[in-house]
A and B are shown apart, each in its own frame.
Chain A
């Protein structure tokens, strides 16, 4: 039962999506069935977010209670989850869901702190805590990439040399200073690079990868629909 029901649900969901693709949604029921399935997907996705929050609180909360290694960081994670989520979910005015009861207890002027709009707690935490932290982490990559380029990017073989030369040329071409430098050797060189490297070799390789990945995804979907692939149920 625990295996059969998910396989039937997976088969029916996939089957409806595949079949309805070939029918006009304005004229046929099967064409419209795709919309119904997609609405269900959106609803189920909402529940997965709740499940994600539950999971992160359970895993980190347990570590805090047991005082395992780095527990203060895990406590910070749990506090952050609630600090972002709770003010964002509270009603912003009396017309919001549950707003009448909420603002019979608290002053209505507090409404601007809640929700996700400009000036809310969520907005403040996002703009002044989350966003700078994420940008800083990403900006630090420039330093690591420079160091890695110096230490690891070696012309050890013909393949590596080809990759290295292409990388250097594209890096030059993608910045105004490098482009100006390349134009010293001929006005059309940047255009040639765009045509031959980005629209030539690059496109050929990318198409191969995209088509390969699409075929892989199609075969995997078929395996899931037919119940051959069951790892999504935690089974091998």
Chain B
């Protein structure tokens, strides 16, 4: 068996080892490559930044723990941006497992840094089944869909919710998602109720969202960990997405290297066979 045939049949554990090295190497040697801001990410940042201080914004946690590496940094950066402008933040999740707990933990952690008080500056609505019905229902009355918050406190006992009754009282909706719920935030909440919606989604979901941004139905987009890193840079924080960019850069380059070597092996061995 020649060199190129050997290359074709390399033990996959060598590939796994190289990927592991590419992930761990940036933890030892920090490389700082500049993070360029895409127009879509800048549009989202500017839309939130342009809101008056004290505005009510909705931040959704529509993601499972499996996508946290990409999506949680978006939520954290968004919360820092919103709290720094004294906005009132209403969080909810359309995902039964993960989203509500992550929203509760992350929002309370960030709120502490900005001296924000639960019930006055932010409220976590939690989860309700059937997101299509939830999105429609919030248009008429938030309290009819969520009589109480995530912890079971009735909404009428929360000072912030005395002035937030439905979408009319919310200035902007920032959807952080790893699944199709973001489509419904566009087709129901933006298209039917006219609320501006921006989103931060996983890299897999992002390509589809470009068509909504292009049509003006979505106000800005963060795609994957790179999108989260862009938002962190604009908010001027050094979060986990910026730190993760080095590892992601190396792994992307490694995969490209594998594709090139794999194809070289394929063509060289095919040439030898005379096919």
List residues of chain A with CB under 8 Å of any chain B CB. 21, 25, 34-35, 38-39, 41-42, 45-46, 48-49, 92, 96, 115-118, 122-123, 126-127, 130-131, 134-135, 137-139, 142-143, 145-147, 149-151, 153-155, 164, 167-168, 171-172, 174-180, 190, 194, 198-199, 202-203, 206-207, 209-210
- Interface hit among B11-19, B43-51, B53-61, B83-91: B11-19
Pick from B65, B214, B223, B252: contact of A131, CB under 8 Å: B65
Tell me if B144 and A115 are in contact (CB < 8 A): no
CA distance A196 to B169 in the complex (A): 38
Would B97 and A130 count as touching, CB distance under 8 A?
A: yes
Q: Given A190-B36, A202-B207, do A174 and B224 touch, yes or no (CB 8 Å)?
A: yes
Cβ contacts under 8 Å, A123 to chain B: 101, 104
Q: Which residues of B contact A199 (CB under 8 A)?
A: 210, 214
- With the chains together, A174 CA to B68 CA distance in Å? 19
| B253 surroundings in chain A (CB, below 8 A) | 172, 175, 177-178
Determine the distance from Cα of A19 to Cα of B246 in the docked complex, in whole angstroms: 53
A-B contact count (CB 8 A): 180
A-B contact list, 23 entries, CB within 8 Å: A115-B151, A116-B101, A116-B126, A118-B105, A123-B104, A127-B101, A135-B66, A135-B68, A137-B66, A143-B15, A146-B19, A155-B263, A164-B263, A172-B253, A174-B223, A174-B226, A177-B246, A177-B253, A178-B249, A178-B252, A180-B33, A209-B208, A210-B211
Q: Are A130 and B38 in contact (CB under 8 A)?
A: no
The answer for the CA separation of A171 and B108 in the assembled complex, in Å, is 35
**Number of B residues contacting the other chain (C-beta, 8 Å)?**
73
Knowing A164-B259, A176-B249, A177-B253, say if A206 contacts B151 (CB, 8 Å).
no
